[in-house]
Amino acid sequence: MPELPEVEVTRFRIEPFLVGRRLGAVRTTSASYVFLTKPAALRSRLRGRAVTALGRHGKYLVAALDDGRRLVIHLGMTGQLFSAAATSVRLLSASTRQALAPEEQRCFRPDVHTHLRLAFEDRGPEVYFRDVRKFGKLLLLDPGETTPRLERLGPDALSVRGDLLFEASRKRAVSIKQILLDQSLVAGVGNIYADEALFLSGIRPGRRAARMTRRECDRLADAVVRVLRRSIETGGSSIRDYVAPDGNDGAYQLERHVYARAGKPCFSCGGPIRKRVIAQRGTHYCPACQR
Ligand SMILES: [Zn+2]
């Protein structure tokens, strides 16, 4: 599933193909749970509008339009937002790719999974939203309209600070990992990044949040930002179906210290990385390096 770094990588790669361009024809697939706004309404309201900005909050992308409306996009599990100018056969799953003839493998053609096709008045490359498993979402907000999907989110994880984690953990009888994964406190920290940040800050994921000191909260907030930034720099993780809009696999998995390394030696102390369920998630940590 795309996590915050992958969504941010998507944002800055697709931004030049969206911002400043005026939409021409808009095509969609038929109504499905991808469409929180009806496909017909999306087609008629988007046409002729210019995209003025592409922002991100947690794992939501928000495209601002020149009429004050906002198009909210969530990539779900397998959603991809990419330009026809930067497509690659690697956008397709391995099985799909193998089913294609060699000449078909050279460029992407919109298929039944391409739920939104944006053409532009400049007749330049189209932009596609494609989602095989359809857990992604498309929602068009009227000027001034809000949605609980965005409203209920805490500050974006890239701006998290120690004082926020400290305050949030005071009255909670939960683990610090639970705090990190609570999207209403911090938006966009997923399981991998929570485990990695806790390792880098030397804190056990199962530690009771209320026992965290202010100094530890500062260290943890720094680690969250560091691990997310590093992942963004390296192009986002590549997790099964996720491939960046230009077809490049990310490389973050090469740098993982604990995630998906159960039983393997810790890079710091050599002891085995342990895995257990914390905050309802498979959690990886080093019992010697994390306290
Ligand atoms: Zn260790």
Q: 94 pLDDT band (50/70/90 cuts)?
A: low
Q: Which residues of 228-241 are buried (b: 16+ CB within 10 A; e: fewer)?
A: beebbebbbbbbeb
Prediction pTM value: 0.85
> What is the Å distance from ligand 1's center to 201 Cα?
12
Question: How far is the centre of ligand 1, averaged over its atoms, from the C-alpha of 196 (Å)?
Answer: 12
The residues near 171 (Cβ < 8 Å, ≥ 6 apart) are 210
- CA 273 – ligand 1 centroid, Å: 7
pLDDT category at 171 given cuts 50, 70, 90 is: confident
Q: What's the pLDDT score for residue 69?
A: 98
Strand ranges inside the chain, DSSP E: 23-28, 51-57, 60-65, 70-74, 79-83, 114-120, 127-131, 137-141, 274-278, 281-285
Top-ranked range on mean pLDDT: pick from 14-28, 87-101, 235-249:
14-28
Residue 255 pLDDT: 79
Token couple for 211? 């026992």
Distance 251 CA to ligand 1 centre (A): 23
Helices (H), the chain: 4-18, 39-46, 94-98, 148-151, 162-170, 176-181, 191-200, 214-233
Residue 76 — φ and ψ, nearest 5°?
60, -135
Whether 140 and 68 have beta carbons less than 8 Å apart is answered as no
Nearest to 123 by CA among 23, 45, 47, 26: 23
Distance 222 CA to ligand 1 centre (A): 20
The residues annotated as belonging to the active site are 2-3, 59, 281
Q: Which two tokens stand for residue 110?
A: 């919109």
Coil, strand or helix: which one is 65?
strand
* pLDDT greater than 50 at residue 246: no
Task: Tell me, in angstroms, the distance from the centre of ligand 1 to residue 258's CA.
Answer: 9
Supply angle C-alpha 20, 124, 136, rounded to 5.
70
Task: pLDDT band for 95, please (50, 70, 90 cuts).
Answer: low
Sheet holding 127-131, edge to edge: 23-28, 114-120, 127-131, 79-83
Total count of residues recorded for the chain? 291
- 105-133 pLDDT tens trace: 556 789 999 999 999 999 999 999 999 99
- pLDDT reading at 92 higher than 90: no
Mean pLDDT of the chain: 89
